[in-house]
Amino acid sequence: MTVSVLADPECVFCRSNPRKVWESRGLAVCSDPAPLSPGHLLVYTTEHHPSAADIGVESAATLDLLVEALSTRIRSAFGDVVLFEHGRTGHCLRSRPGERMCHHMHVHLIPGALDLRTLAALGQSVVLSSWTDVIDLGSQTDGYAVVGGGSAPLVFYPVSHSLPPHYLRTVIAEARSTPELADWETVLSNSDAAEAAPRSHEIVLELVDGLTIATSC
């Protein structure tokens, strides 16, 4: 079932986004404000959907095309890519009062090789043929995560237990020996770490330069 409101004034993705570099057919791309590596980008819906399980079939088909196009460009520039969507965030716990939680669909694409499926240790998974499968599978569970990248297929993990905030970010950051990048809010308050964001933004601009996606029908 599609769940949407046009905009949520409290949502960071629904506000004016100075990092947005591309938009078409209900999807947008922006650079991550606290990149885990140069070229770290986010794909998100222009309308407010809680997760990829809550978008329509047509939007999911467009998401397939966009993620594949971006992944191809990232692999060409960096050799490999890892991607994830935290899905619905109902099972994420705040680690401190006032911590912001994001309930707007977004997919992370991060340059570089990493076996996130193994490292995430999320239990039993279902191999996906497309993002459209997430709509059906997500309707059967409250929480989930999607992980992909490299030559491994996209997989869906039902999540029925509480996860720490920024869980998959933390897994990636620790695997790459940059644990200080795990919490994006902390990174934004660190002037040294925040210096990486403008450089990464320029790379994301190059990655989307001239990008078009075919119709999904």
CB 49 within 8 A of CB 4: yes
- Domain extent listing, the chain: 20-207
pLDDT single digits (tens) 127-171: 999 999 999 999 888 889 999 987 788 999 999 887 888 899 999
For domain 20-207, the CATH class is alpha beta
Place of tokens 């794909």: 43
pLDDT at 99: 40
Backbone angles phi, psi at 207, to 5 degrees: -65, -30
Q: How many CB atoms lie within 10 A of CB 17?
A: 17
Q: In the beta sheet, which residues pair with residue 22? A: 29
> d(Cα 51, Cα 185) in Å, to the nearest integer?
21
**pLDDT of res. 96:** 44
Decide if 114 contacts 175 (C-beta within 8 A): yes
Average pLDDT in the chain: 87
Intra-chain end-to-end CA distance of the chain, in Å = 20
Per-residue model confidence as pLDDT tens digits over 19-48: 999 999 999 999 999 999 999 999 999 998
